[in-house]
Structure 1
């Protein structure tokens, strides 16, 4: 396993929050994907959701990344008084991702089955039997930064 990184959900203000985090931690965003960047016939995006953040990533230190997204309105609002985050695990292979996904999700609720994603990774999402939310992902284009 390469890393485990926190992933936070926001109600439309992920970019504002991450601009603040960047002002505190320093560094540069390594990824900003808006919902409009993924819009297609298979994945239509409403105009009001287009500029919201699908994924934003900010490296923290040498091996950690803080990641977030805006939750689209059709999924409901994030209850800010409850769990607002997922634990994102970056696996070193498809096999490792499948093993971690299948093991951790046993007895839980799968929100997104493991498989090829529209953004080129192999990923899945679930809430484990203890109520903790996870995303397991393998990115074949990941380049280790030294």
Structure 2
């Protein structure tokens, strides 16, 4: 048996104000998107904003449904819209923010597993890393230079 060690490097900022101005602006768009989330069941609202290589910004919020599997997370709402509206334009940065009506979300909230897989598809296809910044409603912001830090051993088209 051989041991396999996985290591990821993430960066933590104490507040949004410590991030680059471009990221602060992107996160503000994500915050506005979060306010538009439709989350009557979980009371957990998420907003995402994506900066594309052409300078366009696309945002999305989570959209729940009484039939839970029919809803869609903010990250996938935004990334699928970016792919549909701007095919073949690379994604540079993604900002994600989450807020719960049931408790304070002061710790950074990363993308769920399904969203990590969706982001991985775009990162793999564009052959460029996507910087991902995530936070709760306020407080610390975590940066990952690539989705690969959040999803080691990712599944992609080479596995098919």
How does the TM-score come out when normalised to structure 1? 0.30
How does the TM-score come out when normalised to structure 2? 0.28
Structure holding more strand per residue: 1
Structure holding more helix per residue: 2
